[in-house]
Amino acid sequence: MTPQQTVELALAAARGDGCVVIAEETSGANLRWADNTLTTNGVSRSRQLTVIAIDRRADGAAVGVVSRAGVRPEQVEELVREAEHEAGQGTPAEDAAELTGAGNHRSFCKNEDNGEERSGRPATTGASWDDNPSLTGIGVLRDFAVALGDTLRAARGAGRRLYGFAEHDMTSTFLGTSAGLRLRHDQPTGRVELNAKSDDLARSAWTAVATRDFTDVDIAGLADGLRERLGWARRSVELPPGRYETLLPPSAVSDMLVALYWAAGARDAAEGRTVFSKAGGGTRVGERLCELPVTLSSDPLAAGLGSAPFVIAHASGADSSVFDNGIALRPTSWIQDGSLAALVSSRHSAALAGLPVTPAIGNLTFATSAAGAPTLTEMIASTGRGLLLTSLWYIREVDPQTLLLTGLTRDGVYLVEGGEVVGAVNNFRFNESPVGMLGRMLEVGATVPTLPREWGDYFNRAAMPPVRVEGFNMSSVSQAN
């Protein structure tokens, strides 16, 4: 049975006062290597059916959500009944609202800054509702595996050790509502991470790329880039903790700003519980966070970063709602020209916060509108004395009041003096807030696609610039290398 048939079967079986069905076909393939040899690998295939049943009564609407893998045709009705049973015995949901139908899916959440009607074309694969689910398999990695084998052999011969991971996943999502909506989204997600170490393990460098199909991955080129970085580290410099002028490369910027994005929920802000809450009530929307003309935005149709162009919510949360399933997602600026412009919301939490409806979108872009934004190489060349980072790791929130985060620098901290890298520095533990960082940004470079290292398992689609930050807080030295 196809996922489309499963959606129709479940909706036909629904007896309640509204039903949302999400059928997903997921496939994946991966290779992992360490110390120049393969360690693990695998292919997987899964099928998930989520039924959201709604029970409307005088005092509101209750919801039941049941999600199950590998449902066979004869089990579909049973799943619908389970969801309806949960809804029937549930208490009314705060976020209850009308379901999205074919007629109104684009009428919700109008972005007033962008009156242009965007086409509802399915993102990424261009497949229509009736087409077969898109799949991936080990074949996607076949050419890559051969090139990787060559690269590992070359590294072994040159006394370097390579570690890393390559993964390609595909999820085809079919969303149907009892209000008549049928939407489909195919999401490819891929990445390669590569870590090179010197033979004595004293020096380490890292790079990564996100990819949608592996045709654009040049593993030999990535390895060559790391060879240069290991070369930079031949001279080592010990530096103490302190506040340093620091160049953060795009990956490190993405990890800080994805953390900011995840903390930018409308409900918690309106409740006075986040860095985006205004003292005495309300939110900080409209407040200036950065003196530079920077914009942090999401767009489901962003080139190379395509993500679902409509809400897919398996469960409700503080700023997501199962009732919002199918709402069209429009380009959203979270920060516009340096000022906080929007917070992530469902229809319900937007109403609580008194803000426009701006649901979460699965990509993030940070860019300056200033002309002639420099590359990282140019920013290094214009540095008098500062640190250049490679990536950040083990990032955790320390204090939500300021969104203070802690974490480590990883796989390469370099000292830049007189416009040149002069050696590798010990790693640091940092204590720094992305909001505080925005306030101390001295320079923003040209935006390029990148992979968040810390959050890449959950957030794969980002385009970020390198940035120069004044007084980045390196709290203590880490002996790790």
Residue 63 binds another protein (CB under 8 A): yes
Distance of alpha carbon 386 from alpha carbon 346, whole angstroms: 42
Residue 316 lies near another protein (rule: CB under 8 A): yes
Under rule CB under 8 A, residue 315 binds another protein: yes
Q: Considering the rule CB under 8 A, would residue 56 count as an interface residue with another protein?
A: no
Q: Which stretch binds another protein (CB under 8 A): 148-156, 222-230, 285-293, 360-368?
A: 148-156
In the block, which residue shows the tokens 């809450």?
A: 277
Residue 86 as a binder of another protein (CB under 8 A): the answer is yes
Angstrom distances, CA of residue 101 to CA of 65, 325, 332, 422, 475: 19, 10, 23, 61, 52
What is the rounded CA–CA span in Å between residue 40 and residue 163? 12
Contact 265, 274 (CB under 8 A): yes
Residues 6+ apart with CB under 8 A from 107: none
Minimum CB–partner distance for residue 348 and another protein (Å) = 10
- Taking CB under 8 A as the criterion, which residues in 401-420 touch another protein? 401-402, 404, 406-408, 410
Q: How far is the CB of 125 from another protein (least distance, A)?
A: 22
Q: Structure tokens of 346? A: 């469902």
Q: Pick from 395, 421, 425, 462: which binds another protein (CB under 8 A)?
A: 395
Residue 89 engages another protein in binding (rule: CB under 8 A): yes
Q: Which residues pair with 416 in a beta bridge?
A: 386, 421
In the shown chain, the binding pattern of residues 337 to 376 toward another protein, with x for contact by CB under 8 A and - for none, equals: ----------------------------------------
Candidate segments 124-132, 209-217, 249-257, 434-442, binder of another protein by CB under 8 A? 434-442
Q: Determine which residue in the list 2, 104, 134, 475 makes contact with another protein, applying CB under 8 A.
A: 475
Closest by CA to 264, choosing from 322, 352, 335, is: 335
Segment contacting another protein by CB under 8 A, of 119-127, 227-235, 267-275, 359-367: 267-275
> Quick check: helix, strand or coil at residue 353?
helix
Using CB under 8 A as the binding criterion, the count of chain residues that bind another protein stands at 100
Q: Which stretch binds another protein (CB under 8 A): 143-151, 250-258, 293-301, 379-387?
A: 143-151
Q: Classify the phi-psi angles of 479: left when phi > 0, otherwise alpha if psi is within -120 to 50, otherwise beta.
A: alpha
Q: Rounded distance, CA 89 to CA 282, Å?
A: 35
Which range touches another protein (CB under 8 A), out of 250-258, 312-320, 366-374, 413-421?
Answer: 312-320
Nearest approach in angstroms of CB 274 to another protein is: 8
97 binds another protein (CB under 8 A): no
Q: How far is CA 294 from CA 4, 161, 253, 335, in A?
A: 42, 39, 13, 7
Span 229-258, contacts to another protein by CB under 8 A: none
| Start-to-end Cα distance in the chain | 52
Site for another protein in 24-43 (CB under 8 A): 28-43
> Is residue 67 near another protein by the rule CB under 8 A?
yes
Of 111, 124, 173, 195, the one binding another protein (CB under 8 A) is 195
CB-nearer residue toward another protein: 299 or 432: 432
* DSSP β-ladder status, 448-450 and 462-464: antiparallel
| Percent composition of the chain: helix, strand, coil (DSSP 3-state, to 5) | 20, 40, 40
